[in-house]
Amino acid sequence: MLGRLIRRVANLEAAIAESTAQRRELHNQLVELRGNIRVFSRVKPHPASALTLGGDGASVRLFAEGKDQGFTFDRVFGPQSTQAEVFQEVSELVQSALDGFKVCLFSYGQTGAGKTHTMQGSKGPDAQGIIPRAILKILDEVERLKEQGWVYELEASFIEVYNETFKDLLADGKGRDAGKITDQNAVKHGVAGGHTQVAGATTVRITTTDAAAALVRKAAQARACEATAMNAVSSRSHSVFMLNITGRHAASATTLRGALNLVDLAGSERLNRSQAEGQRQKEACSINKSLSSLGDVFAALASKSAHVPYRNSKLTHLLQPCLGGSGKTLMFVNVNPEAPSLQETLCSLRFAAKVNSCETAARGGAKRHVERAGCEAPSSSAATAQVTLHSIPSLSKHASLAGLYM
């Protein structure tokens, strides 16, 4: 009797593990059909908007440079969109990170367009941005998966890229040099079986939402912010919230290693409009160089170049696993609809539109990092999803991506 019960329990555990694996495969196929590189636009509220939103929820128009110009993305969030609505659209990628994929979410746009509001938000549950909501979703899911025999480890770092130098935003101490990482080879890919780390950066084990919130607050206080002509408090650096996720299931001898990188990019702005001088001018040049390098990476991916210039900037080198064929990327282009910002808005929309023409699934399909009994086994969904994607041309984005950063 006892032997039969033990065998029955083992069979049930195996069935649960198999159904969970099938759920992961189906979820990934859905994500890949929508595109491994997707672009959303979010319009900042303003009483006198110079933008017109399309009725399809995916397009925006503006009159600039003497003509009417239109742009289409995967989704456009209007001024009335809520933080909850925004996160609902990106939550499937948070799930992908739990499933063992490398995921990156960017917030891009001119200074003062609402990037930090989108990524971090403000106080109050309704005002929370993508970072706190993603952490809450992951912790809730980790707790639920315990019932199925899964044990997860969540390790977080918060990195700033300032003038092509890494800074640990979780380091103790004050002053501009606190947390500065001088090692030029600090980025380490493939650590602990597949994770990316920055040597010398603080790594914090995340177990509760309160601990995560404290971590985000500490990083926000340490971030380099200065005034420019375009914004009284302008973020002069890129910030990257890095969450390495390791899930283990003893009964099936399966290990998943995913990553979620949430990136609040520095404000993209032209020097003549920001009126940057001295150190501010140096910062602006560094910001624009790194954004241009990001554009070069997407251009190389779109053209299927044999060489992708990830190492041209600290930011793209850090995010390399998410940007290539094995990763999933979502970019938010935040735009300011007021008339004086139209030229900056146009540049942002052009950049985002050309990123939207790139598709990493065309380079071989996404693979999650999964190990069974000590052996790495790429997901079989890659070939399946690739065939399905190419059988539906409207879901595949193929276009030239030259001159990406305007």
The pLDDT > 90 percentage for the chain reads 44
19 to each of 22, 26, 29, 93, 258, how far by Cα in Å?
Answer: 5, 11, 15, 20, 20
Tell me, yes or no, whether 362 lies in a domain. Answer: yes
Tell me, yes or no, whether 403 lies in a domain. Answer: no
Tell me, yes or no, whether 84 lies in a domain. Answer: yes
pLDDT value, residue 58: 94
Beta strand 102-109 with 254-264 is parallel
Kindly tell me if the per-residue pLDDT of 388 is higher than 90: no
Average pLDDT over residues 227-250: 76
Kindly tell me if the per-residue pLDDT of 261 is higher than 90: yes
In this prediction, residue 13 has a pLDDT band, given cuts at 50, 70 and 90, of: low
Q: How many residues belong to the chain?
A: 406
In this prediction, residue 59 has a pLDDT band, given cuts at 50, 70 and 90, of: very high
Record the pTM. 0.82
pLDDT value, residue 21: 73
In this prediction, residue 354 has a pLDDT band, given cuts at 50, 70 and 90, of: confident
**Pick from 204, 187, 150, 146: which is nearest to 370 by CA?**
150
Average pLDDT over residues 57-76: 91
Of residues 236 and 271, more confidence is placed in 236
pLDDT value, residue 267: 79
Tell me, yes or no, whether 31 lies in a domain. Answer: yes
Residues annotated within the binding site for ATP are 109-116
Tell me, yes or no, whether 405 lies in a domain. Answer: no
Q: Which domain holds residue 41?
A: 2-395
pLDDT value, residue 107: 93
CATH number at residue 179: 3.40.850.10
Tell me, yes or no, whether 401 lies in a domain. Answer: no
Mean of the per-residue pLDDT values of the chain? 80
Kindly tell me if the per-residue pLDDT of 361 is higher than 70: no
Q: Quote the number of domains for the chain.
A: 1
Tell me, yes or no, whether 115 lies in a domain. Answer: yes
Residues annotated within the binding site are 109-116
Task: Kindly report which listed range (2-11, 212-221, 252-261, 288-297) carries the lowest average pLDDT score.
Answer: 2-11
In this prediction, residue 255 has a pLDDT band, given cuts at 50, 70 and 90, of: very high
Average pLDDT over residues 284-310: 86
pLDDT value, residue 17: 64
Tell me, yes or no, whether 242 lies in a domain. Answer: yes
pLDDT value, residue 225: 60
| Residue 209 buriedness (CB in 10 A; 0-12 / 13-18 / 19+) | middle
Kindly tell me if the per-residue pLDDT of 103 is higher than 50: yes
187 to each of 112, 157, 217, how far by Cα in Å?
Answer: 30, 13, 24
List, for residues 174-233, the tens digit of each pLDDT value.
Answer: 777 789 998 889 999 988 778 999 999 999 999 998 999 899 888 888 876 644 444 444
